[in-house]
Amino acid sequence: NTQMQKLKKIHRQLEWYVSLLIHKLIEYLNSHSITDIVIENLLLSGKFGINEEFDIKYSRLSKLLHLSKVNDLLKRQAEKHGIRVHITLSHYTSQTCPKCGYISRDNRKTQESFKCMQCGYEYNADTNAAYNLELRYTSDVLRYKLHNIDEYGRLTPKKLNKYKIKAILNSYYTLLSNAAPRCGQYTEQAEEVKSGEEDLTNGRESWV
């Protein structure tokens, strides 16, 4: 039917475009000596119900567009050049404030901008989500609680529901908050938080 033909056309266009982007990405990573990248799980497994445009279930749409192959293609091409690809869960990456840890859909009311409804922190929404993805790799707590780690040090997401993921994130930010220095005291954890905030404020480029 017409909708299926449209989907097949989109798939062909997507496959060509993704291959081109991956090629350019690998070239950039090599030229800048970047050895690790973090990406979201691109499957639509967390989506339920019907996609209105194509009148089809999200699970079926994911299979038709071969979204899982995007991850596989990137991993194959990257590993040929000695670059490790880490995959993490997409839950709450666009809703989490990296300053105070507050998680809410209201934090991202538009596609372009992020503003925390609790502490008022504002930043570009995509860059903010990228920082949250990077944190899941650089933080020992989040790296081990959210992921499985293979013999080569590559991360893959554990099978966790969204409530467990949110509980882990809340616990992590509570830990950081409790580690903040009081009355001029210095703590190693607080210095890590400060360093991360400075990196974010300075617009550090993250490959996530």
Q: 27-36, 80-89, 156-165, 192-201: which has the minimum mean pLDDT?
A: 192-201
Number of Cβ atoms within 10 Å of the Cβ of 87: 20
Range of the domain at 72: 1-34+42-83
Same domain, 207 and 113: yes
Rounded to whole angstroms, the Cα distance separating 196 from 127 reads 14
Burial group, residue 37, by CB count within 10 angstroms (0-12, 13-18, 19+): buried
Pair 71, 107 in one domain: no
Same domain as 155, residue 135: yes
| Shared domain check, 75 and 28 | yes
What are residue 88's DSSP bridge partners? 40
111 and 167, same structural domain? yes
Looking at residue 57, what DSSP letter applies? E
The pTM (predicted TM-score) of the whole model is 0.70
Minimal CA–CA distance to 93: which of 136, 42, 49, 29? 136
- Structure tokens given for 61: 């749409």
Q: Is residue 113 located within the same domain as residue 177?
A: yes
The token pair that represents 142 in the structure block: 């989040």
Same domain, 7 and 25: yes
> Are 78 and 97 in a shared domain?
no
pLDDT tens digit sequence for 126-166: 999 999 999 999 999 999 999 999 999 999 999 999 999 99
Asked whether residue 118 falls in the same domain as residue 182, the answer is yes
Q: Measured on CA atoms in the order 139, 102, 127, 177, is the torsion positive or negative? A: negative
Considering the domain architecture, whether residues 77 and 101 belong to the same structural domain is answered as: no
Q: What is the number of structural domains in the chain?
A: 2
